A and B are shown apart, each in its own frame.
Chain A
Amino acid sequence: MAPEPLPVRCHVVTGKGGTGKTTVAAALALALAADGRHVLLVETEGRQGIAQLFDTPPLPYEERRVAVTRGGGEVKALAIDVEEALLEYLEMFYNLKRAGRALRKMGAIDFATTIAPGLRDVLLTGKIKEAVTRRRDGHRVYDAVVVDAPPTGRITRFLGVTAEVAGLTRSGPIKTQSDGVMAVLKSPQTAVHLVTLLEDMPVQETADAIAELTGAGLPVGSVIVNMATEPLLPEEQLERAAAARLTGADLAPALAAAHVHDGTAIADALAAQAVEHAQGWAAQDELRDEVAALDLPTVELPLLPGPIDVGALFELAGRLEEHLRTEVAA
């Protein structure tokens, strides 16, 4: 039996550089693909980060299966190549495939994507829209499309290229095309998710991006707090340690009782580190409040030990699945 259709079908994942948006996008794709769904994971920045995560050879400009999920679901991945996308586009609208190849030899394609800064983004978002709306035999090919999008600083421009393109090309097929793309991106079937860490700058950028996206009429989805850690000190001692009311003398007796080598000598250093740890924790908690004040659905993903592999992605996907369920229920 076909799974129920999803309310949101186009998930755009952005975040400040270094927050792990590619990892989150991949985990989200796995979460959405659970229970027999078909999901496309799209890479837009040409870094082959998805291939690295799923430990596959670099992705060609072709939809390739990278993971199978329970109930017969699957995740396919696509790394969009801007030149190829333009050729495809020329072929589709002008039947210009052969001329297009010749133009590429002349370096003209590269040139065209360079002189019109918005053209690149139009081609990328155009391809995304095509995948979201693609049908075969009357059925949607993909239940959901997840986009590993450009970072927060560029996201609104990336998604809202119409204005820029309209400024450059006041008419013509590119303009028509980008209008169609905007219709999908601004609809309730799209959600832009923001990945952040519990650090000052990423949280600040997240808040800025939300304001920008909302201002541009783009639908904002969830805030995903990535790489969250647990405190290593006993909960009831955190506040005291954060206030720096913890010294070596507080630790020395217990260290001595257990005959820790050099215990008393290093007690002060241990206490200083514990204070730093607690203060870091307190700062994170404050940022948690700031994230809560954004008033968006929020989910925390834990910092996993070791490198991120496919197993780790499934672990994160489990958390996201739960989040998606509560979101739908709400």
Chain B
Amino acid sequence: MSEAAEQPAVERHHRHPRPAAPPPPEALPLDLAELIADPDTRIVVCCGAGGVGKTTTSAALALAAAEAGRTVVVLTIDPARRLAQSLGLVELDNEPRRVDVPGAKGELHAMMLDMKRTFDDIVCAHSTPERAEQILANPFYQALSSSFAGTQEYMAMEKLGQLRATEQWDLIVVDTPPSRSALDFLDAPNRMSRFLDGTMIRLLTAPARAGGRAGMRLVGAGFLVFSRIISKVLGGQLLRDISAFVSALDTMFGGFRERATATYELLRRPGTWFVVVATPEPDALREASYFVDRLSVEQMPLAGLVLNRTHPPATTGLTATRADAAAEEVLEAGGEGAELAAGALRVHADRMGTAAREQRLADRFTSAHPQVAVRAVPAAAGDVHDLDGLRVMADALTGPDDDTPTGVPRTRVLPARRR
């Protein structure tokens, strides 16, 4: 503490009255019930950083839509084992399977993306059987289809395109791959097509494409150095594999880039909505912010933010500070059950503290993105791994905005403070 700070500040305050800080903006309510029931809504994409509950949110939204009478398929990418089992996703056949939902007016189907298989299917669909066999056996193809960063995102979009093309579904709900960044879902397909259509691939495969020596004349000595180094480092066989793979692909369909662009365009069609999922934590909300900005740049429609796993208290009648003070008073007063009551008050103080932190983070997000509608979804007691758990979450996602036990609207964790 400096000395200046210890001097009475009253006088200064008199001369320069600080204007009261404006209250944080109120988030708009997010009406997911209407969104999923609307016949014009055909695709809902759930995005967000890893570990925020995208898969569960997708499955719960799909369940709610099926119960609202629609024929829905949910495309999950990497569901937790028990959730997958509860959706009947034990067999990895890369096709939708009907999930038995007693009493639902519509139909719920679920599938788990098998990225290698989806890639294999593309290859088979676009080439002769002999050629397909060649490609599938190519070591470079095998590495690319099972481990290239971005293949999963690319294949998720590919599968989405296929599902959409069948016109069999009223609504497709898509979970996005568990990448570190939410933006990967939008960026990866382009990155992959850029890679496959890129200069390096062109150079490397030039001999094969243009046919022997003629091709070699087109490229400079720089390439020869490069090619030599790549051969040295990676081994010559790999180069030959790549070359064979790319020329096979090239004749198969007109470049990956066009295909990636087509699937990307699908996301901008009317009837597609993005739901951004985040937990009330700085990192997850930062990711959500980036994603919201990106959607707006790309002119892709954002439905809103699902603020998942919030911890609203069971009562808002006592602040954290008061609850802590009350715990001490109860202990002082003593008597039977004092320790227990004090413990319960401490639990409440802890809950209020957590909720206040969560609300503060949500307020910051809303300050930066006042136009983004918000729905807060309380954390479940344990992992959601069955239909009952999903139904509880579906209710939290689609229920009326203000029917919470404490009357706090579902745009918030704690009630707004009046000034």
Contact = CB atoms under 8 A, between A and B. Distances in A.
Contact of A258 (B148, B329, B343): B329
B230 interface: yes
A326 interface: no
B272 to A, nearest CB: 28
Interface in B121-151: 139-140, 143, 147-149
B235 A269 contact: no
The interface centre, meaning the residue of B313, B330, B341, B351 with most chain A CB atoms within 10 A of its CB, is B341
A216 interface: no
Contacts of B347: 232-233, 270, 273-274, 277
B238 A168 contact: yes
A172 B234 contact: yes
A266 B318 contact: yes
A251 to B, nearest CB: 5
B120 interface: no
A187 interface: no
A257 B333 contact: yes
Contact of B336 (A112, A173, A253): A253
A283 B81 CA distance: 19
Interface stretch (B94-102, B162-170, B192-200, B408-416): B192-200
B383 A112 contact: no
Contacts of A255: 326, 330, 341
Nearest to A283: B382
Interface string B155-196: 000000000000000000000000010000000000000010
B348 A270 contact: yes
B330 A103 contact: no
A57 interface: no
B401 interface: no
Interface in A70-111: 90, 94, 96, 99, 102-103, 106-108, 111
Contacts of A201: 80, 383
A255 B328 CA distance: 11
B50 interface: yes
Contact of B317 (A250, A265, A277): A265
Contacts of B330: 254-255, 257-258, 260
Nearest to B313: A273
B233 A269 contact: no
A183 interface: no
A272 interface: yes
Given A167-B139, A254-B333, A254-B338, A99 B225 contact: yes
A274 B198 contact: no
Interface in A218-254: 232-234, 237, 246, 250-251, 253-254
A139 interface: no
Interface in B304-336: 313-315, 317-318, 322, 326, 329-330, 332-336
B290 interface: no
A259 interface: yes
Nearest to B279: A18
A104 to B, nearest CB: 11
B229 A96 contact: yes
Contact of B238 (A169, A173, A283): A169
Contact of A107 (B200, B337, B381): B200
Interface in B97-129: none
Contacts of A263: 326
Contacts of B253: none
Interface stretch (A22-30, A114-122, A310-318): A114-122
A259 B335 CA distance: 13
A175 interface: yes
A258 B222 contact: no
Given A111-B198, A273-B344, 6 more contacts: A168-B139, A233-B347, A251-B340, A255-B326, A261-B322, A273-B348
Interface of A: 16-18, 90, 94, 96, 99, 102-103, 106-108, 111-112, 114-117, 119, 164, 167-175, 200-201, 204, 232-234, 237, 246, 250-251, 253-255, 257-263, 265-266, 269-274, 276-277, 279-280, 283
23 contacts: A17-B180, A18-B50, A94-B232, A99-B225, A106-B200, A114-B195, A116-B143, A117-B149, A171-B235, A174-B235, A175-B235, A234-B339, A234-B343, A251-B337, A254-B340, A255-B341, A257-B334, A258-B330, A258-B332, A263-B326, A266-B317, A270-B348, A272-B314
